[in-house]
Structure 1
Amino acid sequence: MTSGSSFEQDMDLLRQRMKAERHRSDRERLELLSQMQEAMREARRRQDDQESSMRRHQAFLSRARAEADIAKAHFEADMKRRQAFFEESAAHAARREAERTQHAEEQRRRSASSSSSHEYGLPGVASASPRVVATPQQELQFGAYESAFIAFEAAPSDGTVQYSLASCPWPPASCPVSGVRKGDSVDRRKHLLKLALLRWHPDKFEAAHSSKLSSGERAAIMEKVNAVLRRVQAERVAFADADDAGTPGTRPAHSYSAAAGVQIDPTIPAAVGPRTAKYAYEGRFQ
């Protein structure tokens, strides 16, 4: 009996141990299964996160491409507007330059027409008031011009000294070429005008000073000499008009044109104006 009881106890103990071992194994299996399920859920969550990140990345790339396309379209449209603006500005500048050139050409033609009218006695062109050397500054400028021209005349004619367009002694623009002063007598004015006409006559100027002129700028120098001569002729006409205004109804028997070898018919009424007078050329400068 004792042996049987002991066996039964051992069997019960073994069954309990086996049951406990089975419970422990079940718990471990359940824990392992739970861990596997958790790992699978974590893997699925990571996969979902990756897919979501990929979708967000794709959406970001799509938006970036769309924004880049919009920016490119705006840039191209802006460049087209700028190009059109630059072309319009260039066309406008070209039109303005053409207008300025045309205006300058018209001014030059009017000036040439006025000079021709003064020179040949054409009617309908009003002459300017006579200018005189009246201020100390003008005295200094004209004195410097006279000194420079005296040095120019005294320069050797053997070609060792060459004058360019810039270095030639040109009369100042603020003074009359003749150098007439305020208060000069009529005879004094005639004398100064005659000297200026002789000095700036193109043929005489070139004959006296051609060897001193730079060969590369000779044409430009002679063109300016002609321009200075036109100034002297305008001064001559202006003084003649001033004298006519002081003696209404008749013309002086001797005008300032007589200093240049030109006589004005005194029988023509002064109201007609000196530019319509009949100039009888007695001869060119000798």
Structure 2
Amino acid sequence: MKALFVSILLLGLVQASFGQKTFILSMQDKKAFVAVSAGVSLPVGEYGSGVAGTQRASMAGPGLAVSLSAGYRLLDHAGLMAKVEQHRNTIQTRALVESVDATHSTDWSVNSGDWSVTTFMAGPYVTIPKGRFSFDGRILAGWARATMPDTQVSGTYGSTPVTMQTIGSQSSALTAGAGTTVRYRLNPWLSAHANADFSYAVLTFANLSSKAWSANGVSETPFYSSDRQICVVSASVGLTILLVNANRPF
């Protein structure tokens, strides 16, 4: 009976020791991370404006945002990180129709591509750990590459079929952004996270052209340029792989 009691006691101590070790490892400080995220992209300002007659209204609608980021903590609560993010935003078809004066026409159809914006940014970040949770903040700057989509609107003025087409282009410029992340530690090397981000850039799109044709002939504009403000707020979730032990408790 005494031997059985001792065996049970030893087993309990071993399990307690293993549980304590597992808990310590699950909270072990890591200095680096790689994260993948996906979520919603929300255009704001002129980028998301669909007001007819506004020259710089880009008529971008809600879309998809995906990103890949990596960082390394140089100090206790601060480090450097880099981030690549891709936004794809649809065109607001109603706004596009209204921009060609739909009050005098009927039976409109729209054919359009999507806005595509890719950003490459880097900068400092800070992190504040709270148990299994951590809270990050960042300020980033870098380069943006955007594609303005081609659009085509077809309708009828009176009894005359009309088609209007705009040919888009690509442009690059400096960009800046900021964001915050909340992470929850799942195990020693993996966390789940939620992000909120903001990015801004002003790009000049050159070699744009517009053309309209009907039974009465074809009208085409010379090539022209247009400045556009690309301003996006995104909300996303994903997983973070934690790397590089800050210390070795065992």
TM-score for both structures, normalised by structure 2 = 0.25
Larger fraction in strand:
2
- Larger radius of gyration, structure 1 or 2? 1
TM-score for both structures, normalised by structure 1 = 0.22
